Structure formats: structure tokens, C-alpha cells
Amino acid sequence: MPPADIADVPAPFTTKLTPEQMAEYRKRKVALISGITGQDGSYLAELLLSKGYTVHGIIRRSSSFNTSRLNNLYVDQHEHEARFKLHYGDLTDSTNLVYIISSVRPTEVYNLGAQSHVKVSFEMAEYTGDVDALGTLRLLDAIRTCGFEKVVRFYQASTSELYGKVVETPQSEKTPFYPRSPYGVAKMYGFWITVNYREAYGMYACNGILFNHESPRRGRTFVTRKISRAAADIHLGKQKCLYLGNLDAKRDWGHARDYVEGMWLMLQQEQPEDFVLATGETHPVREYVEKAFKHLGYDIKWRGSGTDEEGYDEKTGRVLVKVDEQYFRPAEVDLLHGNPAKAERLLGWKRKVDFDSLVKEMVLADLEASKNPIENQN
Ligand code: NDP
Ligand code: GDR
């Protein structure tokens, strides 16, 4: 026999499943979530457990506690049959991802792990590219390396930051991308490598192009949570003033719990497709500020302009909000306003929580959290 062309020799780890093995594999409901310790990861884990899935999550080794959002899901595996399991790992470590995929044998993989802060991405551009762009490739390739590309369904956490500079509004699946940050550019790679693996290898792989979504579990350095926590702390006398950057940026803000439902729906369709999830409304940062303080009895009015602008309480005259230019970004995304028509039509998805209810829930939750900071470390 002549030696086979080297290009025809399968990769060492690749084991092709037979059709019978594929059918058996797909009968299970096993999810793997990267970024499970984040806002979305925690809501998604809850949703999938409630639907009967076994849920595995990838967590990063940290010297401090990073699983506070998952506290309510943890069960002692010595006492219960655990359907929830955490694995140490990192999107920068291919070997580790292959090991996790091969041992978990997931039916659905949700890639939510990311350096997700847009402003930080300007300071850590290379790292953001490594995790958010190449990390997506590593996870897709880990699935292929294990020979599971025909049996695993893959969700990629894409973002409205892909739209960046305004080309048209409202933004839909057809709107051209124009990212405005290292984060947006890295996520653009993640978007296209997901499309590419779908087309090249027949993988069931989807992009959810999600507009901003928030909750009491939102990280504290994102603007909505920064505002809700500061409003609570100011009300309780723990903080004097809130310092913010661009007050005029507009965002399409929904509730994270609604959005993780959309992620799951995307993986339950006949064919893999990409979907926008959004509310279809847009609001400026300053409106979020006004509404948040209003819930605690303050009436914010504005005076001055640019970096001298400040927000004061009309009743007392006390200045509660100031602009600090350190929070401005080298390039800003001025306006995000999504069109969720495709998801509403094909997935039957619709956001349930409106803007006013979202602001109220976050402020009231932070008022409680600020009163009991030890129990509420999110
Ligand atoms: P968070 O910042 O709350 O969570 C990010 C998660 O990624 C955390 O679990 C974090 O772990 C993990 N992570 C960070 N770096 C790595 C790494 N190198 N390897 C493995 N895991 C890592 O984000 P959200 O929950 O808000 O968002 C989830 C995903 O959706 C992200 O990819 C984000 O970019 C994207 N997205 C979010 C939107 C939003 O409005 N929330 C909108 C559109 C997209 P740790 O806890 O250890 O830091
Ligand atoms: P964003 O969220 O950049 O849209 O990315 P963020 O809440 O950080 O900013 C929203 C807007 O508020 C303006 N802003 C400030 N932002 C922060 N963080 N801190 C401030 O003090 C401040 N003052 C004004 C910002 O300039 C911006 O215009 C989020 C992340 O979750 C991404 O991972 C996700 O992809 C997108 O949403 C969709």
C-alpha cells in the first residue's frame, strides 16, 4: 500500500462517532458553560437546571472567591446527586478545554466567557483579543478535536458592540458591523469564526447578538450597576457623589434573565442561525441616573456642560453626580437600538421586563445589598 497523503490522516485525537453513537449522545441533556461565574452564566445555569439539564461550568482559579453568583446552585456532592459541576479552566488554555470537553461530553456548549468590559479592553487589548477572539476558536476546536462537532450545539455570546459606529438604526442581523473597541473587534472575530465553523464543518453553531442586559447580578463597574449601587450608597450616607463618563450614550437595556432564555431557544431550532436579542427601545445614560435616584426620592436636574456637567437634587440642591473624564472611552459607541423582530418571529422570544421595572429592581436590590454588604457580595 502506498503511504496515505499526510493530509488524509486524521488528527490524533479525532474519533468519529457512528450514527448510532450520535443518536445515543444526543439523547442526553448536558450543558457546558464558559463564563458561568458571570451575570449571564449564573442565570443560564439556573434556567438549564430547571429544564432538567446536567450543567457543567468552567471557572477560573482565583485567590479570592469568584463563585458568589452561584451560591444558590451549589449542592454538596457528598450528600446529593449533583447535576451541577464546576471545572477549573480558562479560554486561553486549549489543552484544558479539550480535556473538559472530552470528559463532560456536552450536548450544548455556551461560550459566555470573556473579558467583557469595553473600557478595560482599551487597556488590555491583547489579552481581550486572546480570550474573546482566540478563546472562541479554542473552544470550537476543542469540540472538533474530540470528534463531537456533529453532536454538540454551540452558542457564541456575540454583542451589539459589533455595530459600534452607527450605520443604521434600529440595528438588525442585516446591519453591517463597525466595532469601536478592542473588545468589539475581538468579538467580531468570535462572530465570524462561529459562522465559519458552521459553514465549514456543518456544526450547529449560533451567534446571539445581544444588546445590553442588566440585573442585580451585573458586575459593579458596568454603568447601570455602578449607578444603582451608588444611588443606594449615597442614600444610606456611605458615598457622597457618583462620578460618571459619557451621560449621552444611548443603550437598549433589557433584563439578563429574559436574554438567557433566548440563548437556550437559539440552540433548540431545526437549523442554526444568528439572532439579535433586544428590547427595541433606547435610553441615554442620564435617564437611567434620573430614574434610579427617583426611586430613592431624589429629583435629579442637570447644569453645566461637558466635563463640568453635574446632577443635583432639586429639593436640597445637593450635587449627587459629577462627570469625570477618566470614564470616557478613546472611541465611543453613541447609540445602540436593536430590532428583535427575527427572534420574536422565529424563536417566539420577547423580553418581559421593561426599562422602568429593570431600574427599579436594580435600585431596590442594591439598597438591600448596601445594608447587608457581607451577605451580598455581588
Ligand atoms: P461577565 O463579565 O459578568 O462574565 C464574564 C465571565 O467570563 C465570568 O465568568 C469570567 O470569569 C469569565 N472569564 C473571563 N475571562 C475568562 C477566561 N480567560 N477564561 C474563562 N472564563 C473567563 O459578563 P456577562 O455575564 O455580562 O456576559 C456574558 C457574555 O456575553 C460575555 O461574553 C459578554 O462579552 C457577552 N455579552 C454581554 C452582554 C451584556 O449586556 N451583559 C451583551 C452582549 C454580549 P470570572 O468571574 O473569573 O471573572
Ligand atoms: P457597554 O456597557 O460598554 O455598553 O458594554 P457599560 O455599562 O460599561 O457602558 C454603557 C455606556 O455607559 C457609558 N458610561 C459609563 N460606563 C461605565 N462602565 N462606567 C461609567 O462610569 C460610565 N459613564 C458613562 C459608557 O461610555 C457606555 O457608553 C456592555 C458589556 O456588557 C459588553 O460586554 C457587552 O457586549 C455590551 O454591553 C453590549
Give 182-234 pLDDT, tens digit per residue.
999 999 999 999 999 999 999 999 999 999 999 999 999 999 999 999 999 99
Q: Is residue 7 part of a domain?
A: no
376 found inside a domain: no
161 counts as catalytic: yes
Averaged pLDDT for residues 65-84: 80
Verify whether ligand 2 is closer than 6 Å to residue 283 (CB atom): no
Burial class of residue 11, CB neighbours in 10 A (0-12, 13-18, 19+): exposed
**Residue 5 pLDDT greater than 80, yes or no:** no
* Most informative mutation of 123, 220, 222 for ligand 2 (most atoms within 8 A of CB): 222
Q: How many structural domains compose the chain?
A: 2
**Residue 360 C-beta-side C-alpha neighbours within 13 Å:** 5
Supply the CATH number for residue 160's domain. 3.40.50.720
Q: 104 and 200 in one domain?
A: yes
Q: Does residue 119 register a pLDDT over 80?
A: yes
Q: Which of 159, 224, 279, 282 is catalytic?
A: 159
Are 193 and 245 within 8 A, CB to CB? Answer: no
For residue 376, is pLDDT > 70? Answer: no
Are 61 and 125 members of one domain? yes
What is the average per-residue pLDDT within 2-9?
A: 55
Is residue 122 in contact with ligand 2, taking CB distance under 6 Å? no
Phi and psi at residue 272, to the nearest 5°:
-75, 130
Q: Assign residue 291 the CATH number of its domain.
A: 3.90.25.10
Same domain, residue pair 275 and 291 = no
Task: Mark whether 341 and 327 lie in a shared domain.
Answer: no
The CA distance from 133 to 185, in Å, is 8
43 labelled catalytic: no
Tell me, yes or no, whether 63 lies in a domain: yes
In a domain, 6, yes or no: no
| 21: confidence class by pLDDT, cuts 50, 70, 90 | confident
| pLDDT of 9 over the 80 cut | no
Query: CA-to-CA distance for 211 and 339, rounded, in angstroms?
Result: 10
| In a shared domain, residues 293 and 342 | no
And the C-alpha cell for 198?
A: 458552521
Residue 268 lies in a domain: yes
Confirm whether 236 is domain-assigned: yes
For residue 94, the model assigns a pLDDT of 98
**Domain co-membership, 66 together with 148:** yes
Residue 67 CB–ligand 1 contact under 6 Å: no
Task: Considering the candidates 183, 197, 204, 298, report the single residue annotated as catalytic.
Answer: 183
How far apart CA 180 and CA 334 sit, in angstroms, is 10
For ligand 2, say whether the CB of 285 is within 6 Å of any of its atoms. Answer: yes
Gap from CA of 265 to ligand 1 centroid (Å): 20
pLDDT over 90, % of the chain: 89
How confident is the model over 28-52, as a mean pLDDT? 98
Among residues of the chain, what percentage have pLDDT more than 70? 93
Same domain, 189 and 201: yes
Residues 115 and 240 in one domain: no
Q: Which three cell numbers stand for residue 236?
A: 444610606
Is 194 part of any domain?
yes
Compute the distance between CA of residue 336 and CA of residue 171 in angstroms, rounded to an integer: 7
Q: Quick one: pLDDT band at residue 373, thresholds 50, 70, 90?
A: confident
Shared domain check, 241 and 161 = no
Kindly state whether residues 237 and 155 are assigned to the same domain.
no
**What CA–CA distance (Å, rounded) separates 219 from 181?**
19
Q: Please give the residue range of the domain that contains residue 288.
A: 223-248+284-333+357-371
- Does residue 232 share a domain with residue 207? no
Q: At residue 13, does pLDDT exceed 60?
A: no
Average pLDDT over the chain, rounded to an integer: 94
Q: Is the ipTM of this complex over 0.95?
A: yes
C-alpha cell at 66: 469568584
| Dihedral class, residue 78 (left if φ above 0, else alpha if ψ from -120 to 50, else beta) | alpha
Q: Is residue 377 part of a domain?
A: no
In this structure, the answer to whether residues 126 and 187 fall within a common structural domain is: yes
- Ligand 1: nearest atom to the Cα of 219: 3
What is the grid cell recorded at 251?
Answer: 443603550
